[in-house]
Structure 1
Amino acid sequence: MLVVRRKNILIVVALAAFFFIYRGAIGNYFFQDDFYFLRLSRIENPVDFLKFFSPWHQQGFPAYRPLGTQIYFFLGQLFLPQFSPYILRLVLFLFHFTNFGLIFKILKKLFPDRGWLLLVLATTYLIAPLHFLSLYYLAAFQQVLAAFFQLLGFYFYLNKRKKAVYFCFIFALLSKETAVVYPALLFLFSLFLKRKFTAREIFYRFKKEAAYWLGFLLIIIFYGLIRYLTFSQGPGNEYQLSLSLRTFFSSIRWYLVWLLGAPETIINYAGRGFAFDWSSFLKDTKILGYLFTGTFLAEVALLCLILVKLIIFDKDRKKILLFLVWFGAWFVVSLSPVSFFPYHRYSHYLDMAFLALLLVTAGIILRRSGVLPIFLVGIFVLNAYFAVNIDSKLHWAPARSKIAAEYYQFFKNENICNNSQGIYFIDTKSNSAKEVAIALSFADGPRYFCQNYQLPVFYQGVNEPSEEGKNSLFKIESKIR
């Protein structure tokens, strides 16, 4: 009874910590791709709903993510615009909380003797700064949903329901294509269960369940073929591939920094090589920058101290090194779909890598390091608070959400939608109309406000109307802060 009460108290504390750290995400309005996905999720009849699952009917969307995109934003169409973002945010949070619960169950199944410490570890996943974009940006729900199906698959695998894992993999692919590496992660997970990482064990595990792993390969081949046959256009300049070791190691470096709790916006201050503009970072973040720097360095130092202590003084140092090699393999594999994109790096891709970090922590650190891991978790939580607050101040997601929310209220209060001839956003300062266009996803935002998807929308310096047509358009000043 006492154990159950302690567990419930810890869960309440974990959720309270989450809402305190991520309180800024609760009221975030639609912005950017949210409006685009709201347009994609509109239906005129039941057949349109079924077309969400057709790779041939993605309306120009270069990815195929029906569960994480069209189905999710279709829910938003069922409610009035003033309620829709909050309903979708609630769904997003519920899936994130479920992921937290699944991680706790996985850890508890693997390490039943660790007790309440596992719940403390799982809490670090719940509040980790790496989730910033996923929790502030509804369009990033795809990442949370893909993580849910992958974690559910691990849980089913642990409970000997291996065929159910196939369905989890398929649903993860329908959420986001980065889940294509999931079978490799599952294989690494199966090695972790046996605590054997030798080449002989790897070959034996694969040979023993060859038919099972072949099933995943067939799913990947079928999925890849469908995507190849239906691929219509490139996803944009942000997704330019650079198949070089320099890009790979640069990506791995930043993902490792984010894994340890750095804010996503820290990459904006990077120079060439290992150069970093600390003075500009501290100037922009003020006291938060100093506090984050202190907690982050303390966390890294304590982690290094724990690892050095284990490697030098523990009798099973060879086993510990194998655990670390296993973690390195998982880390690289989980990030392989995004490691060669020099202009597309986001910390939320680390959700599966963070699971591996927790597995290693529970497997080799908790048992052997006394109270040091508890201090490490405490520092991580404090660091998360500072990192999320820094991103709340510097990241483009909350800034663009604020722009979109202000224009939604402006459209509503000033009856802008009555101007059926069209609207024209004009600069108040250089490129301000362009920034508003990005925040509102060009025409999609104003059309969603008005529920009129034929409304002509123009932005100065982006898509100019004809000189004759300018006089008939309602002009709106493009204001950004």
Structure 2
Amino acid sequence: MSKNKKNIKNNFEQKKELKVTQLNSSENKFILKIEKTYFIIILGFIVAVYLQVINFTFTGFDDDFLIVNNMQNLMNARFIDVFAGNSFLSDAVSGFYRPIQTITFITDAQIGSGALWIFHLTNLILFYLSSLLVYRLLRIFDFSSVISLIATLILTVHPLFNLNVAWLPSRGDLLLAAFGLASFIQFITYLEKKKTINLIFHFVLLLFAFLSKETAIVLPLLMFSYSLIFRKKIFTKEILTSIPFWVVAYLVWGYLRFTYSGSLPQNQIFGIIPFLENLKTIPEYISKFILPINLMSLPVFSWVTTIIGIVFIAIFIFLYIKNKNEIKNNLYSKILLFEIFWFVLFVLPGMLYSRFYPKSEMFYHYLDHRAYLPMIGFIIALLILINPIIQKIDTKKIFKFGIIITVILSLYSFLHVKTFASPDTFLSDAIKDNPKASVVYFLRGNFWKDSGDLEKALNDYSRSISIDKNYAEAYNNRGSIYGLLGEYQKSIEDLNKAIKLEPNIPDGYFNRAIAKDALGDFKGAIIDFTESLKITPNDYLNYYLRANCFSKFGDLQKSLEDYNKSISLNPRFADAYNNRGIVLYKLNEKNAACSDWQTATKLGSSQAKQMLEKYCSNP
């Protein structure tokens, strides 16, 4: 037998030591039932807790511009558009490259004709697949089927991860978990069986993970550390064979990401400063997992949660010291070391990133959905630390106790996940947790505005401004609400402040132009529409409204030019055809005018139909 084979055999012999309980025949039969039905049990808990999210809408936090307001782009997009351009199909996002995530959004939009329930269903399916992979990983580490099932169920129903299921933009993390875990399992299989097909599957899944979310770039480090810890060699034959595949994955991802994603916005930074400020993320995740209280929709650091987490970390260190003799002489020590590395490796990328807002308060410090992958490593490490206790308990008692914990967590999650049912519930809960967050009032104001409740929108924008006097976007949106309410002078006052605070603010000049137009200041409106077009040069509505102002101002030729431009940008814009027909008629081009009214009528314009009947003898 070769030395390499002997090492593998010794490794498997060590794995045999990792038994949680001594089993009798009755327990063996019970465990056999678990092994045959675990996937049904996991599915049952997911359905019981999370099926309700099918009826949820959206939260108003990122999912509005990624999905809801981006639905038309998603429904008309081709997959190739996602890879060779803005991977989100939205100008509202830059600095990230997640084409696989957007491809799943495109698929949902086109299959479901824009219905949100299918987006939620896809999240549920991905979460279920991730749970099955977690169970598989635990079994690979030779935990019993009972322990593996209970640990998987706790991760599955834990309220800390409600955001992963109910918040649609967490799709990237779900894809990362599914592809990342599957890739890792294939890598372990390749190390043991040395089959090229497993290496190929590992590479393909790894590349998919890379293209799902940036955190995946740490996965090759995870594979390398696994080989180093369990094989005690830096460069084995399998690692040397794997490295070229990893390099290709990095090169493909790097080329696409830096070619098409652009740079991070000014309010988003990456580096050592965010890392130092986010150190409290580690104890807060641990605290919320062990004692799931003080859960927030948009978490901000809490000294209470941080201190509780530090206490738990101290307890775990004590457990290690107490049981180190049992741990250090067998496979437990390797697994414990690897899972601690796992936890740190997956929590680190989120700590290196932060958003900074030019506001008087912090919007949020971290998001709970990022905890899912790190906490897989944490729960495995925790199982090692409490194993001396588990070994003294009967298998069926462990199962019953675990199910009780799972049911309690399920009931908690069943109620807590309702927070994510709509923008109203989600953002109102965030305001309750952080009443000084001007951004959250702003987001809820956006929801009320889109829902047509202008008074509530006005109140929330005003609350946002009362917290932050320099919030340009809030002034802009409140100004637009005043315009919709017919209070044009107040609208202009707010928009003047918005433009002064942020001269290139989107829609600032546009909204002010509408207010000036309503007050009869056509010249001023034309000037503002022109400034707006410098910011958004391909806005067909901007050209259309400026054309209307030129027409009212008496400059029919410039009006005609703007209608032409508006129609070229949106050939199915009925109002533009109708109004261009009116201008053409005034310019004594009756045939051209009638042609435009015919087109507008076909596109659904009732006014154009009236113009045809009145001015065109042969409609």
Counterpart of 2:155? 125
Q: Check 1:123–1:408 CA distance in 2 against 1; reply closer, same or farther (3 A cut).
A: farther
2:125 counterpart (94, 102, 105): 94
Query: 8 Å contact 1:252–1:339 — kept in the other structure?
Result: no
Give the unaligned 5+ runs of structure 2.
Answer: 1-28, 191-197, 356-364, 430-443, 478-491, 499-506, 521-619
Deviations 1:397-422 (A, max 9, x none): 642499799869956xxxx9xxxxxx
Q: Which moved more, 1:235-244 or 1:402-411?
A: 402-411
Q: Is the 8 A contact 2:154 2:409 kept in 1?
A: no
Q: 1:324 aligned to 320, 336, 347, which one? A: 336
CA deviations over 1:184-210 (Å, ceiling 9, x no partner): 122233456x3x5xxxx14244x6522
Distance across 2 between alignment mates of 1:166 and 1:64: 19
Distance 1:255 1:7, change over 3 A: same
**C-alpha separation in 2, matches of 1:230 and 1:338:** 22
What is the distance in 2 between the residues matched to 1:138 and 1:46? 20
Q: Distance in 1 between the 2:285 and 2:354 partners?
A: 12
The answer for the alignment partner of 1:346 in structure 2 is 367
Q: Quote the Cα distance in structure 1 between the aligned partners of 2:519 and 2:110.
A: 34
Q: 1:176 to 1:135 in 2, by over 3 A?
A: same
Q: CA deviation at 1:176?
A: 1.2
Query: Are 1:185 and 1:334, in contact at CA under 8 Å, matched by a contact in 2?
Result: no
Change in CA separation of 1:432 and 1:89 when aligned onto 2, cut-off 3 Å:
farther
How does 1:84-233 map onto structure 2 within 5 Å? 84-111=115-142, 114-160=144-190, 161-191=198-228, 194=230, 201-205=232-236, 209-233=239-263
Distance in 1 between residues matched to 2:43 and 2:291, nearest whole Å: 19
Secondary structure in structure 2 of the residue aligned to 1:154: helix
Partners of 1:119 and 1:136 in 2: CA distance: 23
Segment drifting more, 72-81 vs 388-397: 388-397
Cα drift, residue 141 of structure 1: 0.9
2:105 aligned partner: 72
Call closer, same or farther: CA 1:44–1:239 in 2, change over 3 Å: closer
How far the C-alpha of 1:106 sits from its partner, in A, is 2.5
- Higher Cα Rg, which structure: 2
Q: Which of the residues 306, 316, 324 maps onto 1:311?
A: 324
Query: 1:243 aligns to what SS in structure 2?
Result: helix
Q: Please state how far the C-alpha of 1:224 moved relative to its aligned partner.
A: 1.9
CA RMSD, Structure 1 to Structure 2 (Å): 4.8
Instruction: Give SS of 1:175's match.
Output: coil
SS at match of 2:353: coil
User: What displacement does 1:79 show?
Assistant: 2.9
The answer for the alignment partner of 1:34 in structure 2 is 63
Give 1:337's aligned residue: 349
Distance 1:429 1:348, change over 3 A: closer
Q: Give the letter aligned to residue 399 of structure 1.
A: F
Indicate which of 516, 529, 533 corresponds to 1:468. 516
Query: For residues 150 and 432 of structure 1, do their structure 2 counterparts lie closer, same or farther at Cα, with a shift above 3 Å needed?
Result: same
CA contact 2:226–2:338 (8 Å) conserved in 1: no
SS at match of 2:241: helix
Higher mean displacement: 177-186 or 8-17: 8-17
Question: How do 1:306-455 and structure 2 match up within 5 A?
Answer: 307=320, 309-311=322-324, 314=326, 316=328, 320-343=332-355, 344-360=365-381, 365-366=386-387, 369-370=390-391, 378-379=404-405, 382=408, 385-386=411-412, 389=415, 398-400=425-427, 427-431=458-462
Alpha-carbon spacing, 1:211–1:471, altered in 2? closer, same or farther (3 Å)? farther
Q: Is the 8 A contact 1:99 1:147 kept in 2?
A: yes
Q: Give the structure, 1 or 2, with the largest relative contact order (CA under 8 Å, sep 6 or more).
A: 1
SS in 1 for 2:296: helix
Q: TM-score, normalised by structure 1?
A: 0.69
Q: CA distance change for structure 1 residues 210 and 11 in 2, over 3 Å: closer, same or farther? A: closer
Please state which structure has a larger fraction of its residues in helix. Answer: 2
Tell me: CA distance 1:329–1:110, structure 2 relative to 1, closer, same or farther (3 Å).
Answer: closer
* Structure 1 residues 108 and 79, CA gap change in structure 2 (3 angstroms): same
Q: Give the counterpart letter for 2:339 in structure 1.
A: F
Please list the CA deviations of residues 13-33 of structure 1 after superposition, one character each: whole Å capped at 9, or x if unmatched: 544443444466342202343
Q: Offset of 1:426 from its aligned partner?
A: 5.0
Structure 1: state its 5+ residue gaps: 279-292, 417-422, 443-457, 473-481
The Cα of 1:257 is off from its aligned counterpart by 3.0
Tell me the CA shift for residue 36 of structure 1.
Answer: 1.8
Contact kept? 2:448, 2:456, Cα under 8 Å:
no
Q: Aligned equivalents of 2:384 and 2:239: distance in 1?
A: 25
Q: Which amino acid aligns with 1:153?
A: S
Contact 1:259 1:350 survives alignment (8 Å) = no
Deviation string, structure 1 residues 310-345 (Cα, Å, up to 9, x no partner): 236x27468645543332222221122221235552
Q: Structure 1 stretch 137-146 or stretch 395-404: which is displaced more? A: 395-404
Deviation (angstroms), 1:167: 0.7
Matched residues, number = 417
Residue 476 of structure 1 corresponds to none
Please, what TM-score do these two structures have when normalized by structure 2? 0.55
8 Å Cα contact 2:346-2:373 kept in structure 1: yes
Q: Deviations over 1:58-102 (max 9, x none)?
A: 553312212112432442244345xx1111111110111111112
Contact 2:445 2:460 in 1 (8 A): no
> Residue 64 of structure 1 aligns to a residue in which SS?
coil
Supply the AA of the counterpart residue of 2:97: Y
Q: Is the 8 A contact 1:52 1:71 kept in 2?
A: no
Maintained 8 Å contact 1:261/1:384: no
Alignment map for 1:8-23 (pairs within 5 Å): 11-22=39-50
